Each structure stands twice: as structure tokens, then as C-alpha cells.
Structure 1
Amino acid sequence: MKVLLVLSHNLYSVLRIPHNQAALEQHFSDDDDGPVSSQGYMPYLNKFILDKVVEGTFEKEEVDALCWTLCSKKNYHPNTNGTAVLSNKDAEFLWCLFNFLTEDKYPLVLVPEEVEYLLKKICAVLNVELNSVDLEEFWTQECVREGMSVWSFLELVNSGVLGRGLDRERLSSAIEDVYREIVGNVLKEGYLWKKGHLRRNWTERWFCLKPSALCYYTSEDRKECKGSIELDNNCCVEVLPEREGKRCMFCVKTLNKTYEMSAPDSKQRQEWTAAIQQAIRLRSEGKSSLHKELKARRQEVREERERRRAMREQETQRLQDLQGEKEQKQAELEHLKEAQKQAQASLLQEEERRRKQHEELQRALEEQLREAEEARASMREEMALKELEAEHQRKRIRELEELQQRLEEALHQEIKARQDEENYRYTQARLLAEEEEKTKALLSLQEEQEELLEQMQKEKRELRRDMEEKANALEEAHKQLENIRASRHRVDQDIAAAQRKQRQASTSVKHWNVQMTRLMHPISPGDRRALAPAIRVPSLGDGRLPATRGSIRETDRHNGDGESEREDGEKPRVLHKTYSEPV
């Protein structure tokens, strides 16, 4: 409790807050609402100290010193053997720089980029190079990759990373300069000659440039401030020519006054004019610190780099996912290719099977056509045999008398005409039956071809060639059918010619019957005419031959109506005639 009381008194002092002894004693009384209660010390700190702080009424360096004293006693343990590089004041300055450069996150850690920036800044003031090898070895440690604490940072600096063998005073001066530049918000410091306004004499002063004002002191210890130049939007800096024995002159113009100054050399003049212009720009933009702006820019760059790294990682992950999907699709494509090959193999097998089936159908059709040709040839042979038989009958009938021979020839022509008609009718009926069978076969083949076409169109368009061959076969079969129909037409014409011949033979027979009747009455004797049977000339329907003077005897008897034997394909009956002797 005494420690908290002392801490509260110190905070009152450094923050320039009036002491409230009664509230302090009441809060720290030994009751349930005291510091050992559930409320603790933070409510009192917020209510009675922090809420009463007024900006600009206290010195930030005193607050930093108090905080450093509280923190360092517990956490900062430099080497006691004399190898530590930093003094306590240097460690305090670095602690303040560390707190300034860290992000507003708890716990406070400094990212490696900011640590390197701070170390390079100190090395630039020292005019030495940073030991990158030791720094890289330090970054490889797992504990500092995401950021390092202030105590690790102080340990790193004490290890000699800024360069071994440096003078401690030189190092302290460099750390103080960097501290004043970054934390003290000093843009530039140095000696310049200033021209007075009243005496108009030149006096050397120590100038300290901040974003709000340009202050000048009698010496660099900054104990006695001789004046201050307030910088705002109305100020400007100009380079002046040499005059009054002064070189490298420039001036700062405000609304009321113009301050003339002289730098040691042109380089210093250029640096001072650039720094003053930068201070005027920061003031016009409403920014109170250059390094806060640079810190924000570096943080934006880091965030942008982190975003880009995250985007690269996402892009890499997406590319990996796409690669995986590509490999998966490649595997699926290979599987589909294998399935396609199998389908093509099965399709080729099916095509081969259908081709064989089509060849079998074509062979069956050719076999049927060959059988039809053989039947047609046998019919021609049979007709040729019948023609020979008819010629033999005609030779035997020539032995008859001239009149009888003519009559026999006429009858033979009639018989032949009837036989031709019957044969033609039989041939026509068989051709019609064959035509009907062929038509049915063609229709079934056409239906099967249509089914095959529909099935082939559904399965694959590539079987179109086979269907075209079937169509050609069907066209050839149609041609054969047309040939058969033409043959039938010719047979019909032959039957019509035979019928015409039959009508002519019937007319001739009727004419010869009349003549035979006229000739037979005068020469027949009475008793013989009475005994002899009457001679009758048969009509075309009964199929019997007329008798002459002798009796006519048939060697074969009729069965039925006399036409069944001829319909069965038997040979026509042979007529044998016997002649009676005249009385």
C-alpha cells in the first residue's frame, strides 16, 4: 500500500495535478473498498489522476523518466561485469524510442523492420555500418520473428550489434541525437549566424527546428532560449545572395518579420532550407510530428506488404487448389478416355456384329435370288422339253390326211395355246407368289433396316456408311423386283398372245368343222353310216378331238374334267386314231 501511495504522489508531481490528500487517504483506507478490494488501484488512477491531466501542462520527459524508473527496476538487468554498452540514460532513451515506434497494441512489441530502422538510424549518426550478420542470426530466433519486447531490444543493443569497440560517449551522443529527433520531434539542430533586428549585428546561435517553431539558444546545451520563430502557412524560406561579408545566407519570412541567417556552407544551407520547408508543410497539413507520419507510412507499407503476402499466399493456395482440381480433372479425363476407348471397342464389336448380320442377310437374299434363278432355269428347261414333246406329236399327226392334218394342226395349236396359257398362268402364279415373298422379305428387310437405322442414329452417326450399303442393297433388290415385274409383264403379254392364238385356232376349228360336216354326208354309205357313231367336233371347252371317217380312240382316260393332269404338270395326252376301211 505504501508503494501505491508513493506512486500516486509521484504521478501528481510529474503530471502537475493538485494533490487531493483526503481522497487519496480515503481510497487507500483499510476497508473493503480499498486497494485490496475488488476495485483495486485502477479506478482511483482513472478517476483522480488520469481524468485530471491537461495536455501541455506537464513535461513528457519527466513522465517517461518516472515510467522508466518503475519498469527498469523489475525488467532491465544489464551485465554487471562491465560488458554492457548502454548506460542507464541511454537505455532510457532507447526505451522511449521503442515505445514511440511500437504500434498501439498490448503487449508492446517492435516489429523487425522498425528495429532495423532504429538501429540504422543510430548507425547513420555514428557513421558506422550495421552488423547485419549478427542481426540476421538474431532474427532467425523463433521468439523475435513476430516482434520483440523492449527488454530483448536493449539486450540486443548491449550485445554489441551496433559495432564493437565504439566509444560509450559517442554512442550515448548518437542515441541522444536520435532520441531528440524522433521523440523530441527535432527536425534539425546546429549553429547558425543570425542577424539581429535592433543592432543589426551577426551573432552565432544554436538553432533547434521543430514542426511548430524554430528556436535559437545561446549554446547547444539549450539552457537559455533567446527567441522563437513561429512557423505557419504564412511563413516561407528564401535563399539570399552574399552580402556584408556573409556567405550561404537565407531568410525565414513571417507576416511581421524577416529573419536572416547564414550557414557554415552551402550544404548546410540547403539542409536547413529543406528542413524549414518540411516543417512549414507539416504545420500546414496539421501534423505535429514528422516521424509519426513516417511511422504511419512504414506501417501502411508493412500492412500493404502483409496484404500482398496474404494475397500471394491466397493466390498460391488458389493455384494449388486449381492444380489439384486440374489433376483431378485430368484423372477424370483419363478415366473418361478409358471409358471412351472401352465404348469405342464395344461399339466396334457391335458394328462388327451388325456387319456380319448384314452380310448374313445379304447372303440369304443372294441365296434366295439364286434359287429363283434356278427355278426360272428349270422352268425354261421344262418348257423346252414340252416344246420337244409337242414337236414329236406334230410329226406323228403329219401322217394324217391333209384335211385331218390341218385339223389336227389346228387342234394341236388350240391345245398348245391352252397348255401355254395354263403354263403361263402357272408361271404367273408362281412369279406372283415369289414376288409376294420377295416383297414381304423386302418389307421385312426394310423394316429391319429402318429399325437398325433408328438404333444406329441413336447410338452413333458413324454407322451411316453401313446403312447406305444396306440402302444400296435394298435398291438393288428393288431393281431385281422391277426386273421380276418386267418379266411378269412379258409373261402377261405372252399369255395375251396365246389367248389370241387360241381364239384364232377356235375360229379355224369351227370353220373346218363346217367343212367336214359338208364333206362327210355325200360319201358315207347308208349301212355304215347307221352303224358308225356320229362324229362330233368338240368345242374348246371339252378338250376332245373331232373324229374323221375312222373311229378315234384315246389311250388315256380323262380324270375329272380333263384339265387336272395338265395342271399337275403332266405331258399332254396323245391321240391315237384308227381308220375304218371303206365299204
Structure 2
Amino acid sequence: MAGLLRNVTNAIWHAFNALHQEERGLVNKTKLKVLTANIATVLDLYGLEKGLDHYRSSMNLSFEHFHHYLRQEVFSSLPNSLSMAEMRNFEEKIEEICWLICRRKYAEANHTSLDEKHLYKLFRIFCLVSDFVVPENDPLGTEVLLNSSETVLLIQQIMTAIGLEFENDKRVNHLSQNDLSFRFDQFLDLVDFPDNSNVIEYEESMHEAIDEMYQTYIKDIIKKGFLLRRGYLLPTFKEYWFVLQPCELSYYKNHSEKELCGTIPLDPKFMVKPSINTSGKPDKFLKFVLSSGERSFEFATHDHRTRMQWIAALQLAITYSSGKEGFQRDLISQRRKKREADRKRRKIEEKLRSVHLKEVELAKTQLKQEQLARQAAENQAKQFEELAREDSRRVAELEDLKTTLERLLEEETQAKRDEEIVRALQARVLAEEWEKREELEQLQREQKSMLEQERQKRMEFEQRQKEKENQLAEAQMMLKKLEEERIRLDLELKHARLKIIESEANKEDLEARMDAWQPILKQNSGVRRTLSFVVPSRERPTPMELRSSSFRRKTAQDSN
């Protein structure tokens, strides 16, 4: 099976390289039989190592030939219907066999304080992430190398896990700025951080960091965390520790992952979506449903963000559940393709740059040849220049004379033109001046006329003002006379009122006397006539009569 062989090629190369080589890049068939028999036993195949005796005529094989034999005789016997779990099981066993062969070599080269268990985990991670490199001009010089970008990614994860800052780390900056490759022993030197004073705490942190990376890369764990799961028999939510992989969702009692409570196998038929509350009552938890055609599983979280993260992770796991490659291997493959594309692009740019440099060199050569030819032509031209210099001098004198005459003629012509222009300008200025003068005279005449009209109007206004002043004086005199007359009339009215009061008193006196004489008058009508003649009766004057001047004069005469 080509996919399984491709996944374990890097580990097999390390085992091949760890075997004692008779020559550079060549290993004896006897040693390769042992490695082949172990790999075949893992795959439940037997006797396939015997075919190496008849494979090629030489006793030593290169890795290329050994890899070809494994592909044709060993892995081709496997069925193509292996599941992802079976693939991972085979990969783990084969890589464990390869590690048993090469562990002594790398354990001796290990300068860190890591134990063999965590070295094995780093070995598997390295084999997963590294590239199998075959030089074009040296087929025997095959190597498994880790690119600097992948190295930076792994070192950053380790430093983050053990609490170190990698932003200002010199090694990380150097790896980020340079395109380098590292073998496994060189990678072990890079993950050694000697600046930690607490060795025990440092070892524990390193072990935890490697375990976390091992679960992420090798176990292909997409997400971990606590979730609430509704029971099948009892419809209540219970909290479990869930571990999500592309092909299954496992849950444990706690985060130690020692007591497995159950496993949900995932396939492309599954769907995950948020659960909608239709009861109208507020839910205590935020729910979502993982369902297939046969059964549904209901989960819940305490917050919206956690629910969305789990939904996205489950959708990603369902997407990768149908394939033979895991999630991390697919990401590594994408990064590897991007590096290959960048490498090809750089090669093309280098080729274009080399072609451009060749063109520049060719252009420089042609330019030098042209410069030599030009120098020869200049030397020949100097010889003719000496002969023609005298003639040129004479011609130059004539040209200067001609130029001087033409310049004087042009100056004279220009002077005449300027004179005509000045005259035309003067004539126009004079005409404009006469027009302006006529306009000014017209304005002066109009101004004089307006001043004369203004003077007449002013005289009329002064005349009217004098008349008004005379009329005002007369009115004031008349008002003064009327005021004196009013005062006089008021005095007369006062005297008249006094007289009226006296006459009223006299009248009341007379009426009293008449009342006293009334009995006597009844007896003697003749005497009454006499008394009426002697004392004539008068009517009381009206207010209008009192106000009239004739009545006042009469009253005054009577009083006199």
C-alpha cells in the first residue's frame, strides 16, 4: 500500500542509516533481511525477506533499491481498504521497530536530559514533519531533513509550553531568516535550552510539551476539553473529558484519560449543528447535536464561544474522517507543497537572474567592442580634423561675419517694428485720453448743473424755513394771547360763580320771607299783586346761560 509506505519512509530511512554500512550509502542484504522480516511480521506477512537474495546481483543495496523492493514485494501485498485507525496502528509499530534499530545512535548523540520515551516521541514527530531529500547528482546521498520553517514551528511550541519567550530568541530569529535543513541529531541539539536553573521543573515542562506535541501530531488530536453529554437512558447532562480525532470522538471521566467511557466513530454521514430551543424557557446550557442517519448525540457547553469551537472542530473531523490521511499530515503536506512551490519559484527566479546576468555580460562585451571601434574612428577623425581645422576656422570667421550682419539686420528690422508698435500705442493712448477728457468735461458739466439745482433747492428750503419760523412765532404769540384770555375768563368765571352763590342765598331768603307772608297774601290779593310787582319773580338761570358771556355781563351789571 503506497500511502502506508510513504508515511513510514522517513523512519525506515533512519533504521537503514543506523545499520552498519559496508560502503557509503550501501547496506548488506543480511542486515536488511532482519529489518524486512520485522516489518513484514508487523503487517502479518511472512517469508518476504527471502526475496532479497534474488533481488539484484550485488550483496549491498542502496536505500533507493531497498525502498523499491519494499514497495513491490511487501507493501503491495496489503489491501487498499485499510481504515485510518489500521493505518495508524501499522505506522506506530513500524516506526517503533525502526526506533529500536537507531535508538542507540541518537541516544548517544542526545545532549538533553530527555529519557528514551520522549526521545522516541520526538523521533516520530520528526519523521512525520521532515522531508525525504534525494540529491539530483548523488542518488546515494539521500537524507531525511527538517526544514527551518518546520523547525521554528516545533521549537516555538516547545518554548511556549515550558514558559520561554521565543520572540527575541536568537536561534529562532536565525532559523526564521535562513532556509536551512537539519538532521534528527541536529534537531535534538536545537531543542536543548540550557538557560533553565531548575532542572527538575525544566524536565517536567519538556516532557509535558513533548507529550502535547505527540498527541497533536501523531495522535492527530484536533481538540480536547470538557463537554456535557445527554445520556441515552437517563436524559440528563453529565460532564466528560472529550478527545476529538478525525475518525472518532472519545470521552473519559476526567482529563487524565485513564478511564474510557465511550467512543463515537465518525464518518461523512455525520452532521453537527446548534440545537434550537423551542420550549420558550431559557436553557441553562448551550446545546448542539451530532447526528447521523441512525442516531443523534446531544452535547452542551456553558458558553457560546466553546460551542462554536466544538462545532467547527467536529465539522473538520467529519471532513477528514473519510480520508486515509490525518488532519496534521494534511497540514504538513500543504506546507510542504508550499515550500516546494516557493523553491521552484526561487529556482526560476535564479535562472532568470542568471540569464539576465549573461545578457548583461554579453552587452558589456559588445559595449567594449563598440568602444574600441569608436576610439579607432576617433583617431582617424583627428587626422582629418587637423587638415580641416584651418578651413573650418575661415569658414567660422565668415559665418561669424554673416551672423553679425544678420543680427544687425534683424535688430534694425525689430527696431522699426518696435517703433511702429510704439506709435500705434501712442495714437491709441491719445485717442483714449481724448475720450476720457470729453467724459470728464461732461461729468464736470453735469456736476455744475447738479450743484446749481442743489443751490436753488437750498435757497427754497431756507425761504420755507424762514416762513415756517415766522408762522411759529405768530402761533406762539397767538397761543400766549389765548393763554392770557383763558386766565382772564377763568377769573371772570370765578367771580360769576361767587355771584351765583350769593344770588342763591338771597333767593332762599326771599322765599323764606314769602312763605312768612303767604297767609297775609291769601287774605289780600291786592297786596299780593303789589308785592309781586315790587319783587318780581325770576327763574333760575340754566348752565348754558351761566357760561354765556352776555349772561355774565348781565350778572355783573346786576351785582353792580
TM-score, normalised by the number of residues in structure 1: 0.49
> Aligned-pair distance for 1:319?
4.4
1:338 aligns with 2:372: no
1:96 aligns with 2:124: yes
- Give the whole-Å Cα distance in 1 for the aligned partners of 2:35 and 2:368: 73
1:70 aligns with 2:101: yes
Q: In structure 2, what is the equivalent of residue 123 of structure 1?
A: 159
Letter in 1 for 2:220: N
1:255 to 293, 296, 319: 293
- Give the whole-Å Cα distance in 1 for the aligned partners of 2:364 and 2:36: 69
- Give the whole-Å Cα distance in 2 for the aligned partners of 1:324 and 1:47: 51
- Give the whole-Å Cα distance in 1 for the aligned partners of 2:205 and 2:241: 20
> Aligned-pair distance for 1:51?
5.2
Encode CA deviations 1:151-176: one digit per residue, 9 max, x unaligned: 22123324548998553233222212
- Give the whole-Å Cα distance in 2 for the aligned partners of 1:321 and 1:4: 49
Q: Does the aligned pair in 1 maintain the 2:288–2:307 contact within 8 Å?
A: yes
Letter in 2 for 1:237: K
Q: Which has the higher helix share?
A: 2
Encode CA deviations 1:229-261: one digit per residue, 9 max, x unaligned: 424165233265697853343222333333221
Q: In structure 2, what is the equivalent of residue 246 of structure 1?
A: 284
Q: In structure 1, what is the equivalent of residue 306 of structure 2?
A: 268
- Give the whole-Å Cα distance in 1 for the aligned partners of 2:72 and 2:370: 73
Q: In structure 2, what is the equivalent of residue 309 of structure 1?
A: 346
> Aligned-pair distance for 1:93?
0.8
Q: Does the aligned pair in 1 maintain the 2:130–2:144 contact within 8 Å?
A: yes
Q: 1:146 to 1:125 in 2, by over 3 A?
A: closer
Q: 1:5 to 1:304 in 2, by over 3 A?
A: closer
Q: In structure 2, what is the equivalent of residue 473 of structure 1?
A: none
Q: In structure 2, what is the equivalent of residue 418 of structure 1?
A: none
Q: Does the aligned pair in 2 maintain the 1:85–1:157 contact within 8 Å?
A: no
What SS does structure 1 have at the residue aligned with 2:234? Answer: coil
Q: In structure 2, what is the equivalent of residue 60 of structure 1?
A: 91
- Give the whole-Å Cα distance in 2 for the aligned partners of 1:6 and 1:68: 14
- Give the whole-Å Cα distance in 2 for the aligned partners of 1:195 and 1:339: 99
Unaligned runs of 5+ in 2: 1-28, 134-141, 400-560
- Give the whole-Å Cα distance in 2 for the aligned partners of 1:150 and 1:225: 38
> Aligned-pair distance for 1:150?
1.2
Q: 1:127 to 1:297 in 2, by over 3 A?
A: farther
Encode CA deviations 1:329-358: one digit per residue, 9 max, x unaligned: 4444444443443344344456569999xx
Q: In structure 1, what is the equivalent of residue 316 of structure 2?
A: 278
Q: In structure 1, what is the equivalent of residue 113 of structure 2?
A: 85
Q: Does the aligned pair in 2 maintain the 1:187–1:209 contact within 8 Å?
A: yes
1:147 aligns with 2:181: yes
Q: 1:110 to 1:190 in 2, by over 3 A?
A: same
- Give the whole-Å Cα distance in 2 for the aligned partners of 1:100 and 1:322: 44
Q: 1:86 to 1:271 in 2, by over 3 A?
A: farther
Encode CA deviations 1:37-72: one digit per residue, 9 max, x unaligned: 948997997898655555455443233222212210
- Give the whole-Å Cα distance in 2 for the aligned partners of 1:207 and 1:326: 69
Q: 1:7 to 1:218 in 2, by over 3 A?
A: farther
Q: In structure 1, what is the equivalent of residue 482 of structure 2?
A: none
Q: Does the aligned pair in 1 maintain the 2:240–2:252 contact within 8 Å?
A: yes
Encode CA deviations 1:84-113: one digit per residue, 9 max, x unaligned: 332211111110010001123342111211
- Give the whole-Å Cα distance in 1 for the aligned partners of 2:259 and 2:91: 18
Letter in 2 for 1:88: E
RMSD: 4.7
Q: Does the aligned pair in 1 maintain the 2:246–2:266 contact within 8 Å?
A: no
TM-score, normalised by the number of residues in structure 2: 0.50
What SS does structure 2 have at the residue aligned with 1:206? Answer: strand
Q: In structure 2, what is the equivalent of residue 111 of structure 1?
A: 147
Encode CA deviations 1:399-426: one digit per residue, 9 max, x unaligned: xxxxxxxxxxxxxxxxxxxxxxxxxxxx
- Give the whole-Å Cα distance in 1 for the aligned partners of 2:167 and 2:198: 9
- Give the whole-Å Cα distance in 1 for the aligned partners of 2:264 and 2:331: 26
> Aligned-pair distance for 1:228?
0.6
> Aligned-pair distance for 1:300?
2.6
What SS does structure 2 have at the residue aligned with 1:109? Answer: strand
- Give the whole-Å Cα distance in 1 for the aligned partners of 2:360 and 2:30: 68
Q: In structure 2, what is the equivalent of residue 181 of structure 1?
A: 216
Q: In structure 1, what is the equivalent of residue 328 of structure 2?
A: 291
> Aligned-pair distance for 1:295?
1.6
- Give the whole-Å Cα distance in 2 for the aligned partners of 1:47 and 1:337: 70
Q: Does the aligned pair in 1 maintain the 2:272–2:291 contact within 8 Å?
A: yes
What SS does structure 2 have at the residue aligned with 1:216? Answer: strand
Q: Does the aligned pair in 2 maintain the 1:108–1:149 contact within 8 Å?
A: yes
What SS does structure 1 have at the residue aligned with 2:325? Answer: coil
Letter in 2 for 1:261: F
Encode CA deviations 1:190-229: one digit per residue, 9 max, x unaligned: 2211112332111222222222333333444255351314
Encode CA deviations 1:114-152: one digit per residue, 9 max, x unaligned: 111122233344454238645259869xxx975211122
Letter in 1 for 2:231: G
> Aligned-pair distance for 1:33?
8.2
Q: 1:320 to 1:2 in 2, by over 3 A?
A: closer
Q: Does the aligned pair in 1 maintain the 2:157–2:209 contact within 8 Å?
A: no
- Give the whole-Å Cα distance in 2 for the aligned partners of 1:319 and 1:46: 44
Q: Does the aligned pair in 2 maintain the 1:192–1:206 contact within 8 Å?
A: yes
Q: In structure 1, what is the equivalent of residue 252 of structure 2?
A: 217
Q: Does the aligned pair in 1 maintain the 2:248–2:266 contact within 8 Å?
A: yes
- Give the whole-Å Cα distance in 2 for the aligned partners of 1:288 and 1:45: 21
- Give the whole-Å Cα distance in 2 for the aligned partners of 1:195 and 1:37: 65
Q: In structure 2, what is the equivalent of residue 226 of structure 1?
A: 262
- Give the whole-Å Cα distance in 2 for the aligned partners of 1:116 and 1:50: 34
Aligned residues: 347
> Aligned-pair distance for 1:317?
3.4
Q: In structure 2, what is the equivalent of residue 470 of structure 1?
A: none
What SS does structure 2 have at the residue aligned with 1:77? Answer: helix
- Give the whole-Å Cα distance in 1 for the aligned partners of 2:351 and 2:51: 55
Unaligned runs of 5+ in 1: 360-464, 466-583
User: Which deviates more, 4-13 or 262-271?
Assistant: 4-13
Q: In structure 2, what is the equivalent of residue 156 of structure 1?
A: 190
- Give the whole-Å Cα distance in 1 for the aligned partners of 2:364 and 2:309: 62
What SS does structure 2 have at the residue aligned with 1:84? Answer: coil
Q: Does the aligned pair in 1 maintain the 2:166–2:172 contact within 8 Å?
A: no
Letter in 1 for 2:288: F
Q: 1:223 to 1:66 in 2, by over 3 A?
A: farther
What SS does structure 1 have at the residue aligned with 2:289? Answer: strand
- Give the whole-Å Cα distance in 2 for the aligned partners of 1:273 and 1:119: 30
What SS does structure 1 have at the residue aligned with 2:143? Answer: coil
Aligned positions of 1:532-571 closer than 5 A: none
- Give the whole-Å Cα distance in 1 for the aligned partners of 2:195 and 2:76: 42
